[in-house]
């Protein structure tokens, strides 16, 4: 089981239990080490006491008992009573009595590397200690003694060792064998135990106390302490678990159950839990009640807002939808669903795939593909296959990495508006024709008067062939002028159909410049061309567009005063539009004339030089292409700009 899957109470209890367990282990180890040190210290003190007593006993034998024995027993001079006169023998016998009666676990030895009695021969440890004292005789300031813990046959002992230094009184028995007591020689012989010198270390005496039993008792105490602590830990663990469950886990579980119920929908947000205590759990419960009330009010507000927005959304009369990148519809209003049911191709009724996207026709799938590719909103006027006109809006919704994740699709049927606008445009044109009928009559009466005069001359006057031909030419010229005026009036008053094809604006401008090359050269006008190579071909009527460009260029040529003027022609594309601008260096258009330049039959030229229909017809053709024609003027020149949708 993973730790993260445990309850909070279990985690808390385990944490406390682990801390207490570590504490018990450390406490038991420290207790064991402390007791061990105390035992060693006590053993050292006892070995010191025993060693001091043994030293006092030896001093008594050397300084008192042995000399007295020599005095009171003159008859035995030359004899040696070991039981009363040998320090080694007496001390060893006394310690045997100690072991038999009181100190059974104590081991005393008095040995030498050159003893009289072979039984007192030093072993390896004591030989090493004799060598140690011999080497450190002068540096040792602690009474020629050593104490410590050693291990003998896998058993630990606390040992105190004291060096034995030969004194003057010792040389009587251990000096030259010739002067030693005869009884001593008879008992031990003269091979060993002689040749001592005053002040040299001739042996050691030691007290050893085994620590195994005591250390075992200490270990038992430490283990008992640990077991007691562990049992206490288990009891404490269970108690903490119960207390934590009662005080913390139970209230939290209740809150958790209510939270889960709210998420699943089985509990309402409008909760008011009772507060049974003024502790942290009580504060948490109060905060939960406050949060639940706030969320409940917020939820109710959101429901009302959602209902209001849904009503507004459904009440929009135009189709509106939220579209996924695969062309599936996520949210639609009533109008959009009705259009889908009717199969109107201005809304999404197909999946997004290449098979459902006609490369030769515009469709919603194509629009969405453009939005995803160009990552921007698209607004398009669109004439559907059903002959109706639509204004299409697509607004992209991006994620953090600017990927299109949703698209808002809005469509408006503008067919009736287009028809009304077209009717108004025709009415305005016809009204202009009616208002300017006097101008038309003047334009037609002039050539009619010449025709009538020439015709009367032909009928009433005899004339030669050359004169007759001149009169006939005048008649034909007048008729042609009347015919042109009537044709322009018809173009202005009625909507002629467009014959569109995919063409280049730059190519059309080049063609028009070729037509006007003679006039431009004659006036020595400098043509500056800034034709952009990035402009795509667009669907327009090339003949009518050439007519527009020709009218604008001819007007610019006439506007340039004198020679050495210039005409700058520039093309560009911006925001879904193709623009062609024509800028001359003339004197500009006066402010009082500017509002009327697109009015039919309005002209500032002399009679016979223009009809005043050129700009008016041009404006009508541009609007028929869903474009616009703009004019900017100043005393330094005039710029006409034609904007056409790509």
CA distances for 587 relative to 212, 523, 548, 570, 590, angstroms: 126, 16, 22, 20, 9
Range of 21-35, 230-244, 246-260, 415-429 with top mean pLDDT = 21-35
Domain boundaries, the chain: 5-216, 287-315, 320-413, 419-493, 501-645
- The answer, yes or no, to whether residue 358 has pLDDT greater than 50, is yes
- The answer, yes or no, to whether residue 141 has pLDDT greater than 70, is no
Q: How much is the average pLDDT of 361-371?
A: 77
Q: Could you tell me where the beta strands, DSSP code E, fall in 16-138?
A: 107-112
Task: Return the pLDDT at 360.
Answer: 52
What are the tens digits of pLDDT across the range 243-256?
A: 777 777 677 777 77
Segment (H or E) for 363 = none
DSSP code for 599: S
- The answer, yes or no, to whether residue 142 has pLDDT greater than 50, is no
Evaluate whether 320-413 and 419-493 have a shared fold: no
Question: Which of these, 613, 585, 583, lies nearest to 599 by C-alpha position?
Answer: 613
Q: How much is the average pLDDT of 298-314?
A: 81
Q: How much is the average pLDDT of 186-205?
A: 82
Domain 501-645 has CATH 3.30.565.10: yes
Range of 58-72, 122-136, 457-471 with top mean pLDDT = 122-136
Q: Where are the alpha helices (DSSP H) in 346-498?
A: 364-374, 415-435, 437-460, 465-493
- The answer, yes or no, to whether residue 494 has pLDDT greater than 60, is no
Q: How much is the average pLDDT of 92-118?
A: 75
What are the tens digits of pLDDT across the range 444-453?
A: 776 787 787 7
Could you tell me how far CA 73 lies from the centroid of its own chain? 109
CATH code at 419-493: 1.10.287
Task: Give, in words, the CATH class of 320-413.
Answer: alpha beta
Residue 549 pLDDT grade (very low, low, confident, very high; cuts 50, 70, 90): confident
- The answer, yes or no, to whether residue 425 has pLDDT greater than 50, is yes
- The answer, yes or no, to whether residue 435 has pLDDT greater than 50, is no
Higher pLDDT, 119 or 436: 119
Task: Return the pLDDT at 608.
Answer: 46
Q: Report pTM.
A: 0.36
The token duo for 388 is 């109706």
Q: Could you tell me where the beta strands, DSSP code E, fall in 576-617?
A: 577-584
For residue 534, count CB atoms less than 10 angstroms from its CB and return exposed for 0-12, middle for 13-18, buried for 19 or more. Answer: exposed
Higher pLDDT, 577 or 309: 577
The residues facing 395 across adjacent strands are 408
Mean pLDDT, all residues of the chain? 77
Segment (H or E) for 113 = none
Residue 294 pLDDT grade (very low, low, confident, very high; cuts 50, 70, 90): confident
Query: Which range among 286-300, 326-340, 501-515, 546-560 shows the weakest confidence by mean pLDDT?
Result: 286-300
């Amino acid at each position: 089981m993973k730790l993260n899957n445990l309850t909070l109470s279990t985690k808390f209890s385990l944490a406390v239990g682990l801390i207490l367990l570590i504490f018990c282990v450390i406490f038991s180890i420290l207790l064991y080490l402390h007791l061990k040190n105390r035992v060693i210290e006590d053993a050292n003190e006892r070995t010191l006491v025993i060693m001091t007593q043994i030293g006092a006993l030896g001093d008594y034998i050397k300084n008192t008992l042995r000399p007295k024995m020599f005095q009171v027993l003159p008859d035995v001079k030359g004899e040696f009573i070991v039981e009363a006169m040998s320090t080694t023998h007496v001390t060893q016998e006394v310690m045997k009595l100690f072991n038999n009666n009181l100190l059974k676990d104590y081991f005393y030895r008095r040995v030498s590397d050159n003893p009289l009695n072979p039984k007192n021969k030093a072993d390896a440890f004591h030989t090493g200690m004799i060598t140690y004292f011999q080497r450190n005789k002068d540096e040792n300031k602690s009474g020629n003694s050593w104490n410590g813990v050693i291990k003998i046959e896998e058993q630990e002992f606390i040992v105190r060792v004291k060096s034995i230094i030969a004194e003057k009184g010792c040389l009587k028995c251990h000096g030259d064998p010739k002067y030693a007591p005869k009884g001593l020689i008879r008992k031990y012989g003269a091979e060993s135990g002689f040749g001592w010198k005053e002040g040299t270390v001739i042996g050691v005496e030691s007290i050893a106390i085994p620590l195994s039993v005591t250390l075992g008792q200490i270990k038992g105490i430490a283990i008992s302490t640990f077991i007691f602590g562990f049992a206490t830990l288990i009891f404490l663990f269970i108690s903490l678990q119960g207390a934590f469950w009662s005080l913390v886990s139970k209230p939290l579980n209740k809150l958790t159950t209510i939270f889960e119920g709210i998420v699943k929908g089985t509990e309402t947000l409008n909760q008011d839990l009772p507060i049974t205590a003024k502790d942290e759990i009580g504060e948490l419960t109060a905060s939960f009640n406050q949060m639940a009330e706030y969320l409940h009010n917020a939820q109710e507000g959101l429901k009302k807002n959602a209902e209001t927005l849904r009503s507004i959304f459904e009440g929009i009369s135009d189709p509106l939808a939220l579209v996924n990148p695969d062309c599936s519809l996520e949210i639609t209003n009533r109008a959009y669903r009705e259009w889908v049911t009717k199969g109107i191709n201005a809304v999404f009724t197909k999946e997004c795939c290449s098979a459902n996207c006609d490369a030769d026709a515009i469709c919603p799938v194509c629009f969405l593909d453009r939005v995803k590719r160009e990552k921007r909103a698209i607004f398009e006027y669109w004439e559907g296959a059903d002959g109706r006109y639509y204004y299409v809006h697509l607004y992209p919704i991006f994620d953090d990495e600017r990927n299109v994740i949703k698209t808002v699709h809005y469509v408006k049927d503008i067919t009736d508006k287009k028809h009304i606008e077209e009717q108004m445009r025709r009415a305005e044109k016809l009204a202009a024709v009616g208002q300017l009928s006097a101008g038309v009559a003047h334009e037609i009466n002039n050539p009619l008067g010449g025709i009538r005069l020439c015709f009367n001359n032909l009928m009433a006057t005899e004339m030669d062939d050359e004169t007759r031909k001149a009169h006939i030419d005048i008649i034909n010229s007048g008729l042609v002028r009347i015919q042109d005026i009537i044709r322009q009036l018809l173009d202005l008053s009625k909507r002629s159909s467009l014959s569109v094809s995919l063409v280049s604006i730059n190519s059309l401008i080049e063609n028009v410049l070729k037509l006007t090359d003679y006039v431009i050269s004659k006036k020595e006008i400098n043509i500056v061309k800034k034709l952009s190579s990035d402009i795509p071909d667009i669907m327009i009527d090339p003949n009518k567009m050439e007519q527009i460009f020709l009218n604008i260029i001819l007007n610019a040529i006439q506007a340039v005063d004198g020679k050495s003027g210039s005409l700058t022609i520039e093309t560009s594309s911006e925001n879904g539009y193709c623009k062609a601008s024509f800028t001359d260096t003339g004197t500009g258009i006066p402010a009082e004339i500017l509002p009327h330049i697109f009015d039919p039959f309005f002209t500032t030229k002399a009679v016979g030089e223009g009809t005043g229909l050129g700009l008016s017809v041009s404006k009508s053709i541009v609007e028929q292409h869903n474009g616009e024609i703009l004019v900017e003027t100043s005393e330094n020149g005039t710029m006409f700009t034609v904007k056409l949708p790509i």
